[in-house]
Structure 1
Amino acid sequence: MSENSPALLHGPLHDWHVGHGAKMAEFGGWLMPLQYDGGGVVAEHTAVRSAVGLFDVSHLGKAAIRGAGAAEFANRALANDLNRIQPGSAQYTLALTESGTVTDDLIAYLRGADDLFLIPNAANTAVVVADLVAARDAEGAELAIEDLHRSFGVFAVQGPKSAEVLAELGLAQPEEYMSFVDTTWAHGGTGIPLTICRTGYTGEHGYEIVPRWEDALVVWEALAAAVARHGGRAAGLGARDTLRTEMGYALHGHELSTDITPVEAGVGWAVGWTKEAFWGREALLAQKAAGAPRKAVGLLATERGVPRAGVNVLDADGAVVGETTSGTFSPTLANGIALALVAPSVQLGDTLALDIRGRRLGVTVVKPPFVEVNVKD
C-alpha cells in the first residue's frame, strides 16, 4: 500500500512529520512516522534510553463510556478489575473474545464511577466499541458509548529527562505510576485542556499526553522544542518497537491476538480472576485450570543475527517447539532478541535455535525484560 493511498488515515501531525523528514509507514490503517532523517531508529532509541524522546501515537484509538454505572458496566466487560484502582488512575486491561483470546489490549482511564476514557489499539477501536455497544444493548443499560478516534491526539514523552521537559513547559506531572490528571495548560494566552498520564511503552520514566485534535500541533511543537533542548529528539514507531521489545511488552497482532489468550501471553496479571463476570471468563478459567498449551518467553541470540517474527523455534534435535512473535536487534544490548510462544516443556536457560530461512540462529531462553529499567521510577 503506497503512502498516498486514500485508504490510509492521517493523524493531526501528518504534515509536520513529512516536513521534518519522516519515513512514513502504515500502522493499523494509519500513515505514521517510522523514523526521521538524521539518525534513524538506533539514534532515536538511544535518545529515549539516555535522555528523552517524543512519540506521536495519535493513531491509537480513543473512546468514552459515560452515564450512571459506566465503570461497573466496563468492569463486567473488560478483563482487569477496575475496583483495584481509584478515580484518577489508569489501568492496563483486555477485551477478550468468548473463547478467552484477546480482541485488544487497552488503557482505561477511570475519571469516576460514571466516566471512563479508553485508549485501544488503532486497528481495533471500532471492534472494541461495537462489542461494548452490543453488551450495553443486551443489558438495556442507558450509557453513552462514543468512538472518539479522531477527537484527540496522543503523544508520549519518554526517557530519564521526561520530567524535566514537562517542568520546563509548566505541564502537570502525575507522580504515581499509572495516575493521570485532567488539566489546562496556559499557553500563548489561551488555556489548552490536556490529560497527562504517568505511563508509556518504553520502560523509561515518561508520560502520555492527550490533547484535543485541534490543539495537537501547538502542543507537539512546544514539546518537540523542549525535548531538543534537553538532548532528545522526535522518535518514530520503529524505535518504539525496539524499546518495547527490550522490555518484553506485548504488542497486539504479535504477542496478543484472537488466537492467543492472556494466560499464554503471560499477561494474566491483567485479569481480575476473582470477578464474577468479564468477557471470556469461563474459557479463560478453564485454560488456567488445565494449563495453557504454550507460554511466552524471551530469546537472546547467542550468535550474530537478527531474529524475526513468525519463525520456528527448534530444540536441540531440530524439533519445532514454538514460534517467535517478535524479533529485532536490541540497540541497548547490540544483540538480537526475540519474544516467542513455546511449549510448556521449554525452560529458562535452555539452548534453542531459530530457523531463519534455513539457517539456524542459536538463542538462549531468558525472562524479559532484556534490559534493566525501572518503569515505575
Structure 2
Amino acid sequence: MSPLTSPLHERHAAAGAKFADFGGWSMPIEYAGGGVLAEHTAVREGVGLFDVSHLGTATVRGPGAAAYVNACLTNDLGKIGPGQAQYTLCCVADGQPDAGGVVDDLIVYLHGPDDVLLVPNAVNAADVLARLAADAPSGVTVTDRHTEVAVLALQGPRSAEVLAAVGLPGGLEYMSFAETPGTGGDEVTVCRTGYTGEHGYELLVAAERAGQLWDALLAAGAPEQIRPCGLGARDTLRTEMGYPLHGHELARDITPNQARSGWAVGWQKEAFWGREALLAEKAAGPARRLWGLQAPGRGIPRPGMVVLDGDGARIGEVTSGTFSPTLRTGIALALLDTASGVAEGDEVAVDVRGRPQPVVVRRPPFVESHTKDPVPPTTR
C-alpha cells in the first residue's frame, strides 16, 4: 500500500526534500541546501516552517461532546474555556491489558461544550477515534477529517513577524487559538503552540488551500530568512526540549507516571480512561522514570541502547537519542529503573556495540528556548 501524501508534496519535492514514511504518510525529513543542521538553527535563531499534515484531525460534536471527551482523556478540559487548546493523553482503559498505558498524546481544541477538535498523531489517529466512537453517547458524532485538513507549524523567535505579514493573528496567549480568514479568504485556525520549545504557531487550513498558505508564509518570511523544515529538525528540536514522542517516550506499555507526564493528568477528575491503574501506580511509585542523558564525548546514544550503572548492570534503555545541533554533543531520553537510585548529575553509561559510552544524567530541557511560554514539565 502506497503511503499517503501531504497536499504540499509536490512543493516539497520541488524544493529537494528527502522523504520518509511517518505513520503511513510520506513526509519531508530535510531539504536540499542545508539539511537538518541549518533547519534546526533557523528555528532556534529565526523562523522555520514545517508541514505536519500527517497529524490527524477529527471533530467530536453533539450535546455534551466536551464533557464526553473530558471523561475519556486524561487532562481536565474544565480548566480551559472556548478558544483554548490543551495537551492531553488517551490512555488504555481500566480492565484492559496495559491499562494506563498511553494510546496517544494529542491536542484538544475546545470550541464549546458541544464542539471539540482533536489533533492526534498520524499512526494512532484511527485507534483514538475508534475508541471515542465506540463509547460515544447518543447524539455525539466522531468525524475523521485527516485528509481534509492540512497542518502547518511556523516556529521560531521571528514567527510572529511572519504571521503578521500575511495578516494572521500572532498576539495570542499560549495554547489559545483563533479562527480567521487567511490568504484567499478561507478560514485558518491559528494556535499558539508547537513542538520545538520556541515561540510558534500551528495553523490548520483546508487541504486544498494549504499550498497557497505555504507559499504566502515563505514569501513573507524571506526578510527573516525563513527555511522550510523537515521532520528531522523537528525531532532534534523536540529532543533538546525533552518533549516526548509517541512510540518512544510514550506507548501502550509506558504510562504517564513513567514518562513524567502526570502534569497532563487531571488527577481530581472522577473519570478518564486508565484512571484506577494510574492512581495505583502513582501511589506505589513507578518502576521506571524518564531521564535525560548527555554525552560528554563524541558518542551519540541511539534508541534501544542499554543504559548501565557504574558496575555494568543494566538499569534502563534509551528511548530517543540524537546529536544536539545546539550543544554539539549527543543527547538522549531514557527510561531508567527507579530502584537504581539514579539522580541528576550521576554518570552512567550507554552500551554502544559492546563498549560503554559515559553519559551524564540530566533533567531536560537540555537547552533554553527563546520563548517566555511555559515549558511543559515533561521530565521534571
TM-score (norm 1): 0.96
Between 1:218-227 and 1:293-302, the stretch displaced more is 218-227
Map 1:244-323 to 2 at 5 A: 244-323=238-317
**Moved runs in structure 1, 4+ residues, more than 6 A?**
none
Alignment partners' CA distance in 1, 2:25 and 2:171: 30
Alignment partners' CA distance in 1, 2:264 and 2:203: 23
Match of 1:8 in 2: 3
Cα distance, 1:228 vs structure 2: 2.7
Verify: 1:158 aligned to 2:155, yes or no. yes
- List gaps (5 residues or longer) in structure 2: 94-98, 374-380
Match of 1:184 in 2: 181
The answer as to whether partners of 2:44 and 2:369 remain within 8 angstroms in 1 is: no
Match of 1:363 in 2: 359
Cα distance, 1:375 vs structure 2: 4.3
Cα distance, 1:7 vs structure 2: 2.5
Match of 2:141 in 1: 144
Match of 2:369 in 1: 373
Verify: 1:343 aligned to 2:341, yes or no. no
Per-residue CA deviations over 1:253-286 (Å, capped at 9, x if unaligned) read 1000001000000100000000000000010101
Query: 1:328 aligned to 300, 305, 322, which one?
Result: 322
Verify: 1:105 aligned to 2:102, yes or no. no
State the SS of the aligned residue for 1:94: strand
Alignment partners' CA distance in 2, 1:182 and 1:318: 55
Verify: 1:19 aligned to 2:5, yes or no. no
Alignment partners' CA distance in 2, 1:312 and 1:225: 46
Cα distance, 1:296 vs structure 2: 0.5
Alignment partners' CA distance in 1, 2:38 and 2:330: 17
State the SS of the aligned residue for 1:262: coil
Cα distance, 1:305 vs structure 2: 1.1
Alignment partners' CA distance in 2, 1:226 and 1:340: 40
- List gaps (5 residues or longer) in structure 1: 1-5
The answer as to whether partners of 1:174 and 1:196 remain within 8 angstroms in 2 is: no
State the SS of the aligned residue for 1:153: strand
Give me the CA root mean square deviation: 0.9
Q: Structure 1: which amino acid aligns with 2:161?
A: E
Alignment partners' CA distance in 2, 1:327 and 1:48: 20
The answer as to whether partners of 1:54 and 1:227 remain within 8 angstroms in 2 is: no
Query: What is the total number of aligned residue pairs between the two structures?
Result: 366
Match of 1:3 in 2: none
State the SS of the aligned residue for 2:195: coil
Cα distance, 1:104 vs structure 2: 0.2
The answer as to whether partners of 1:41 and 1:238 remain within 8 angstroms in 2 is: yes
Match of 1:78 in 2: 73
Cα distance, 1:374 vs structure 2: 5.0
Q: Structure 2: which amino acid aligns with 1:19?
A: A
Over the matched positions of the two proteins, sequence identity in percent amounts to 59
Alignment partners' CA distance in 2, 1:77 and 1:161: 37
Alignment partners' CA distance in 2, 1:164 and 1:152: 24
